[in-house]
Structure 1
Amino acid sequence: MAKSTRDRTPDTDRSAPTGAVPRRASSARPALVLATMCVGMFLVLLDVTVVNVALPTLGAQLHSDVAGMQWVVDSYTVALAALLLTAGTLGDLRGHSRMVLAGLALFGAASAAAGLAPSLGFLVGARAAQGVGAAVLLPCTMAVISDTFPDQHARARALGVWAGVSSLALPAGPVLGGLLVTAAGWRAVFLVNIPVVVAAMVACARLVPPVRHERGSAKNRDGQRGDVDRTGALTCTVALAAVVFAVIEWGRGTGVPVVGGAAGLAAGALVAFGYAEHRAARPLLPPALLRSRAFVGANLVAAAMNFVGIGTIFVTTLYLQEVRQHSPLRAGLELLPLFVPLAALSPLTGRLTARFGPRPPMVAGLCVGAAGLVGLLLPDASSQYGVLLPALLGLGVGMGLLTAAVVTAAMNAVPRDRAGLAGGVNNTARQSTGALGVAVFGAVAGSPAHVRAFLGGLHLLGPAAACVWLAAAVLTVATVPAQPRT
């Protein structure tokens, strides 16, 4: 089959739209480009978990209460979730490799500020800046991979490797954090990012040429200025930030006025976002994407994946540390049956997706995970570890089969010149619902100090979460297109 017009080299491409920048091969060394993008993604996810083990030490040194330490974690998540969509669109307009460099630079500078923070407030602000850098990095690393591997089969395999490497950040975070805090103090948790960021920036500048699909100042196909939708970006950011804030505060038990005010702000910003998108010449979230059944379905499944997965990890950690009274290190090791399959299966899932399409591994992962989640009915206050093991393995295998496939399904559902936006939407769905999962699962389970009530909540969450994933499996069959073997 002949290559499509958008896959031709610049010398042969005669049909590019006005204002488009000619495409080049993303790199003669695609494996090195993939490795560099994996480093960026690894840092983003590592900083979601690595700080947790440092909280008691930094809280004591910075004289922080529990709420302050909570915001050391939450400020990163709020900034990350709120800005992903805007960052993905900016990557499409300004160039994905350029945005990766900008994200790395901001992430490295914010890491240095966090490591040198003189006060809790300064640290929270630095963590928020880290989240902004992470938001720029995350969708644009996916888009650079999409540019580097234009063939769908090769792209699926590459995204499998990317998902596998990034998944290693989940188990590496607590272990690496514990080692750094023990050896060099809590500041080392942030300062260790700096040499890695510098090396990644050098590699990105040398390996990834600037590929830009459409100039921000050029006219689009309708003859209108093709710049970023600033009003849509602002209202979308406010809406997402307010939603995440409301969910986090609800999960912490904050009063109704604060949560209600944040929810009202989110609703108002969402209405304004819809109005802005209706009037925008180049909307931030094109209505055509929302009319794509495959794109909407893939992102709803991604949302269900993180809602259940991150929420279950949260309450399981509380069960191991607070109910079973295991040390943080032991609890981290006991969670490896969940994290290791997640990391190990992602590259395999990429190959399966390349061969059979994303639907089969998605359905298989959701069904296996649902079966494992039912196992949360079994643990009690004196259960042996083996009672919890099937639930951990089922969830780990399920997420390992899901992650690369659901990302590929979302990326395949859009044109390549909207890859950054697709990555932003997909990761916004996952990050936002991950925060929602922590809040909802934590609220249902309650405080582990009340063991009987906590176990009752855990037993309720298991089958309820299984039902969510089974519904996501049905949605997958209904929306994600089958891809025959080629």
Structure 2
Amino acid sequence: MADTPVTLLRRAVDPARHAGSPRTVLVVMCAGYFLVLLDVTIVNVALPAIGSGLGADVGGLQWVVDGYALALASLMLTSGTAGDLYGHRRVVLGGLAVFGAASLACGLAPGIPVLVAARVAQGVGAALLLPGTLAIISRAFPDDAARARAIGVWAGIGSLALPAGPLLGGALTEAFGWRAIFLLNVPIVLVALVWAAAIVRESREEQARRLDLPGVLLGSLLLLATTYAFIEGGREGAGSPRVLVAVLVAVLAVPALALAELRRGDDAMLPVSLLRRPAFDAANVTAGIMNLGTLGTLFVLMLFLQSVQHRSALLAGLAVVPLFAPLAVIAPFGGRVTSRIGARLPAAAGLLLATAGLALLVRAGAHSPYPVLLPAFLLWGTGMGLLTPAVVAAAIEAVPAERAGLASATNNTARQTGGAIGIAVAGAIAGQPADGTRFVRGFHAVALGAAGLYAAAAVLALVLLPGMLFPGGER
């Protein structure tokens, strides 16, 4: 009887199973992590092709991006607890399976409703997968120094995913069509799934917190209602009955969520005691603003580059490489600076550089040459490279050591939440790319609004984040 593909894959990874190689575990976990972050940016460059292929307006495209971000933001905190309770190996394998099946459904979607539903499922798989990859890597490397190096590799792979997204997305869309950006995930996930099943050992916590299902449901409802209000408000107007209902639901969900979390105490999805720490709050507000401004502006920017300036998907992807490349290059340097002087100055400097870059985007018009855009991209990207490690470090430093994992997950959730809302707001402001003049004005308004938020966050960082106020001073 002929060998099946699964049998061949199992035979290929059999030596790794017996060797129990931590490096092999690291490779497989990094592959999953890379795909999760890749899907944050790879879709943006394909949006015009998706819109023309499936007959979607800007509102539909916003849901394509936000369906993934909403699920990821809603489940990020709880999936780490699920791994503690049921085993990180089991949760990661489940996440890979869901992510791979959802990617296939995205690639085969006949219309926008199916594509959005599949993107939500992709986000669920990503949320299950993301926290578990770090937990499994940490257990695979019991030595402190080796673990630190492994986590550095893991973080570096994540940094590479962001510039790779637009570039790979543009190339695939140009060569094979937009469906290829999703179908690419399927064989990679299949290999990672079989390999992980063979080599990863199960692990769980002896005294894990209980799952906070009321917190998850109310938090998801709040985020969904807020996003719906912005996206549909841009389509139908702020006075639409459905938009007003969404606003009312969001308003009512806030006290309901606060009450539910207070009642849960230490078992809450986000313990209220952590929110009483000003530095922790400032780090997460800054992280939310970071992604709100960046992902919101990026959503409109990719439509501008292709629908207004008429670049191909590949050329649009190449155009934004100078925006994302500094993240991979500067982030490690920013991390070292933050470890020496604290988060305050790197975060504030990063926010102000990004403010300048975003403000420069107002010079871009329908016929502006690329040199007009390049300084804006470089300043914006350099600022993000300094800011990202600083806000993560600030969140972790603000809590006791035993809460570091929760602090990191909260910071990631804040970023995803900010990104989802930013995309909803930016699309509502910019409108349809078909109306070129109005869209360019909207693009400028989005960029200036993001710049203003970044400037305000820089003041917040200088006042509340830990670290030196002047180089060479006391922390």
Per the TM superposition, whether the score is higher than 0.5 is yes
Quick check: 1:237 aligned with 2:237? no
- Rate the CA distance shift 1:425–1:389 in 2: closer, same or farther, 3 A: same
Q: How does 1:43-442 map to 2 (within 5 A)?
A: 43-52=35-44, 64-66=55-57, 71-117=63-109, 121-144=113-136, 161-181=153-173, 183-184=175-176, 186-202=178-194, 204-205=196-197, 209-216=201-208, 226-253=209-236, 256-281=240-265, 282-415=267-400, 417-442=402-427
- Rate the CA distance shift 1:192–1:126 in 2: closer, same or farther, 3 A: same
- Rate the CA distance shift 1:160–1:261 in 2: closer, same or farther, 3 A: farther
Equivalent-residue separation in structure 2 for 1:191 and 1:328 (angstroms): 17
State the Cα distance separating 1:190 from its structure 2 match: 2.5
- Rate the CA distance shift 1:412–1:326 in 2: closer, same or farther, 3 A: same
Equivalent-residue separation in structure 1 for 2:22 and 2:171 (angstroms): 33
Q: Is the 8 A contact 2:215 2:261 kept in 1?
A: yes
Match of 1:280, SS state, is helix
Deviates more, 1:468-477 or 1:406-415: 406-415
Percentage of matched positions with identical amino acids: 53
- Rate the CA distance shift 1:147–1:429 in 2: closer, same or farther, 3 A: farther
Equivalent-residue separation in structure 2 for 1:152 and 1:303 (angstroms): 31
Match of 1:168, SS state, is helix
CA RMSD, aligned part only? 3.6
Equivalent-residue separation in structure 2 for 1:335 and 1:107 (angstroms): 26
State the Cα distance separating 1:205 from its structure 2 match: 5.0
State the Cα distance separating 1:161 from its structure 2 match: 4.7
Q: Is the 8 A contact 2:87 2:202 kept in 1?
A: yes
Deviates more, 1:228-237 or 1:207-216: 207-216
Q: How does 1:15-54 map to 2 (within 5 A)?
A: 33-52=25-44
Q: Is the 8 A contact 2:47 2:303 kept in 1?
A: no
State the Cα distance separating 1:195 from its structure 2 match: 2.6
Counterpart residue identity of residue 131, structure 2: P
Instruction: String of CA shifts for 1:192-211, please: whole Å, max 9, x gaps.
Output: 21232233345545665544
- Provide the aligned length of Structure 1 versus Structure 2: 450
Instruction: String of CA shifts for 1:85-134, please: whole Å, max 9, x gaps.
Output: 32233334444444323212221222233344466544433222111111
Equivalent-residue separation in structure 2 for 1:240 and 1:84 (angstroms): 13
- Rate the CA distance shift 1:193–1:485 in 2: closer, same or farther, 3 A: farther
Q: Which residue of 1 aligns with 2:15?
A: none
State the Cα distance separating 1:426 from its structure 2 match: 1.6
Instruction: String of CA shifts for 1:149-194, please: whole Å, max 9, x gaps.
Output: 8999988876665444324333433433344455555544333212
Counterpart residue identity of residue 450, structure 2: A
Instruction: String of CA shifts for 1:441-484, please: whole Å, max 9, x gaps.
Output: 33444444455544444444444433322322222233222289
State the Cα distance separating 1:393 from its structure 2 match: 0.5
- Rate the CA distance shift 1:37–1:267 in 2: closer, same or farther, 3 A: farther
Q: How does 1:405-484 map to 2 (within 5 A)?
A: 405-415=390-400, 417-482=402-467
Q: Is the 8 A contact 2:354 2:380 kept in 1?
A: yes
Q: Is the 8 A contact 1:139 1:421 kept in 2?
A: no
Equivalent-residue separation in structure 2 for 1:190 and 1:211 (angstroms): 31
Match of 2:310, SS state, is coil
Equivalent-residue separation in structure 2 for 1:203 and 1:230 (angstroms): 32
Deviates more, 1:455-464 or 1:190-199: 455-464
Q: Is the 8 A contact 2:326 2:382 kept in 1?
A: yes
- Rate the CA distance shift 1:298–1:152 in 2: closer, same or farther, 3 A: farther
Equivalent-residue separation in structure 2 for 1:338 and 1:70 (angstroms): 21
Counterpart residue identity of residue 42, structure 1: F
Q: Is the 8 A contact 2:325 2:381 kept in 1?
A: yes
Equivalent-residue separation in structure 1 for 2:459 and 2:232 (angstroms): 32
Q: Is the 8 A contact 2:44 2:302 kept in 1?
A: no
Q: Is the 8 A contact 2:69 2:419 kept in 1?
A: no
State the Cα distance separating 1:392 from its structure 2 match: 0.8
Match of 1:382, SS state, is coil
Q: Is the 8 A contact 1:89 1:421 kept in 2?
A: no
Q: Which residue of 1 aligns with 2:11?
A: none
| TM-score (norm: length of structure 2) | 0.81
State the Cα distance separating 1:260 from its structure 2 match: 1.8
Q: Which runs of 5+ in 1 are unaligned?
A: 1-26, 217-225
